[in-house]
Amino acid sequence: MTAGVSFNNHNDSFSAGRWASQGAESASGPPVLTLVFTTDSYDQEQVLFGVKSVFPRSLIAGFCCGGVITAAGVHTQGVGVLSLSGNFRATTTLQKGLAHDAFKVGQKAALTLLEKNFKRGTIMAMPDGFQGNVPEMLRGLYNQMGPNFQYIGGGAGDNLKFFKTYQFTEQEISQDAVAVALVEGLHMGIGFGHGWVPVGSPLVITKARGKTVYEIDGFPAFAAYSRRLGLTSREQFGTKAMMHPIGFPNIRGQYVIRDPLSVNEDGSINFVTEVPSQAVGSIMDCTLEGLVEAAGHAAQQAVSAAPKPAFMLLFDCISRIMLMGDRFQEEIQVLRETVGPDVPLLGALTFGEIGSHDNVPIFHNKTTVVAVGKETLP
């Protein structure tokens, strides 16, 4: 197989999509599947038209994200394209209505994919990161697809405006949806990590509904969270919350991160992702060195499963670059050194990340998900 990656930041939406696609095609040739990551400064329909003007017969899946990642760094305006050609199969679907019934959306996506008689492969899911219950969508997807598939992806978003975002395939573009691509015949290696570690004694989420936590350890959530971190005012919350999310251990002893977002008047805390009531977790802490090291471990895990890959795909939480600032470039450098400096790289700053343990999809926060791929030998 061959992979092409190209990026263009022209101000005109159609031109940015077209020229990024032309650059990718020069390396890959006519693709079977094209992945497209855009930023919110564009007319997304015009971007898609621009891509399709170059790739009229390619399957396409993509989304609007908080920033496009290339080997050169992070771009807050632009269109990134990864085109994949070779002897493999692919299919795509776009399913709407995440906010209404996320589980059903996941089921419908799965049933649509399975209609094409795929038995195994890798699923790349790109849901709206602002709407609905994404973990519930993943449960619906897995309920139909099962463990014969790997799962990767990330939540669509914007440049921290929290207004609206877009998901699309070659068929159409929408909001409050999930764009999914399924590939069979590619050997994919997947790794993920975050770098946060637990501090202090465990806590219990004693009352929560959806993305809002009302009580921790039987006390109002903000009061309990503040007591543990020594907060004296709500103005301190934003900075402290970025450094100190809550982690919940899984069966392997690894922590799934849930990211606090804002405090409500009643003292409850809104999180980026749903938090289950009665869950036992811990306040987490990190160092910048630990974040970079975790990304390197994720890349090593991926490349160990698929040595000498033809491309690298990255879904990286937008909160990591907010925390790391200029040092985020160190993370990109470690990823490239681990996978190979000449391996084409395309990534997105996401609002939630999808990785899997034993091929069971899990929705993460503050996490780096690395996927590398090459064609499966006959």
* DSSP assignment string, 212-248: EEEEETTEEHHHHHHHHHT--SGGGHHHHHHH--EEE
**Domain final position from 285, 306, 341:** 285
Is 258 in the same domain as 367? no
pLDDT at 158: 81
Higher-scoring residue by pLDDT: 109, 378: 109
Phi-psi region of 144 (alpha: psi -120 to 50; beta: other; left: phi over 0): alpha
User: What range defines the domain where residue 40 resides?
Assistant: 2-193+290-375
Q: For 258-300, what is each residue's pLDDT tens digit?
A: 999 999 999 999 999 999 999 999 999 999 999 999 999 999 9
Is 60 in the same domain as 182? yes
pLDDT at 161: 64
pLDDT band at 251 (very low <50, low <70, confident <90, very high): confident
- How far apart are alpha carbons 303 and 217 in whole angstroms? 41
Is 297 in the same domain as 318? yes
Is 133 in the same domain as 67? yes
CB within 8 Å of 159: residues ≥ 6 apart: 39, 40, 41, 66, 67, 76
Is 115 in the same domain as 183? yes
**Domain final position from 285, 307, 327:** 285
Region 238-244: what's the mean pLDDT? 91
pLDDT at 47: 98
Q: Which residue has the tokens 């069979």?
A: 184
Is 224 in the same domain as 110? no
- How far apart are alpha carbons 39 and 10 in whole angstroms? 12
- How far apart are alpha carbons 79 and 300 in whole angstroms? 27
pLDDT at 71: 94
Compute, in degrees rounded to 10, the torsion defined by CA atoms 24, 25, 27, 33. Answer: 80
pLDDT band at 105 (very low <50, low <70, confident <90, very high): very high
- How far apart are alpha carbons 25 and 5 in whole angstroms? 8
Q: For 123-133, what is each residue's pLDDT tens digit?
A: 999 999 987 78
Is 148 in the same domain as 296? yes
- How far apart are alpha carbons 40 and 162 in whole angstroms? 11
Q: Measured in Å, how far apart are the chain's first and last C-alpha atoms?
A: 12
pLDDT band at 68 (very low <50, low <70, confident <90, very high): very high
* Residue 305 three-state SS: helix
Contact in structure between 63 and 126 (CB atoms under 8 Å): yes
Contact in structure between 44 and 75 (CB atoms under 8 Å): no
**Domain final position from 250, 285, 320:** 285
pLDDT at 5: 98
Bridge-partner residues for 177, per DSSP?
A: 96
Region 161-169: what's the mean pLDDT? 83
CA 342 remoteness from chain centre: 23
Is 26 in the same domain as 174? yes
Is 227 in the same domain as 185? no
Average pLDDT for the chain: 95
Is 45 in the same domain as 187? yes
Q: Between β-strands 59-64 and 167-169, what pairing exists: parallel, antiparallel or unpaired?
A: antiparallel
- How far apart are alpha carbons 322 and 40 in whole angstroms? 18
Q: Edge-to-edge strand order for the sheet containing 121-127? A: 89-96, 177-184, 121-127, 149-154, 353-357, 360-364
Q: For 329-376, what is each residue's pLDDT tens digit?
A: 999 999 999 999 999 999 999 999 999 878 899 999 999 999 999 998
**Token pair in block for residue 307:** 């040595």
- How far apart are alpha carbons 303 and 301 in whole angstroms? 6
pLDDT band at 378 (very low <50, low <70, confident <90, very high): low
Contact in structure between 4 and 344 (CB atoms under 8 Å): yes
pLDDT at 377: 64
pLDDT at 254: 87
- Residue 258 sits in a domain of what CATH number? 2.40.10
211-240 burial code (b ≥16 CB/10 A, e <16): ebbbbbbeebbbebbbebbebeeeeebeeb
The tally of domains found in the chain comes to: 2
Contact in structure between 319 and 283 (CB atoms under 8 Å): no
Is 127 in the same domain as 249? no
Region 104-110: what's the mean pLDDT? 98
Contact in structure between 184 and 118 (CB atoms under 8 Å): yes
Among residues 334, 322, 319, 323, the alpha carbon closest in space to that of 366 is found at 319
Is 265 in the same domain as 294? no
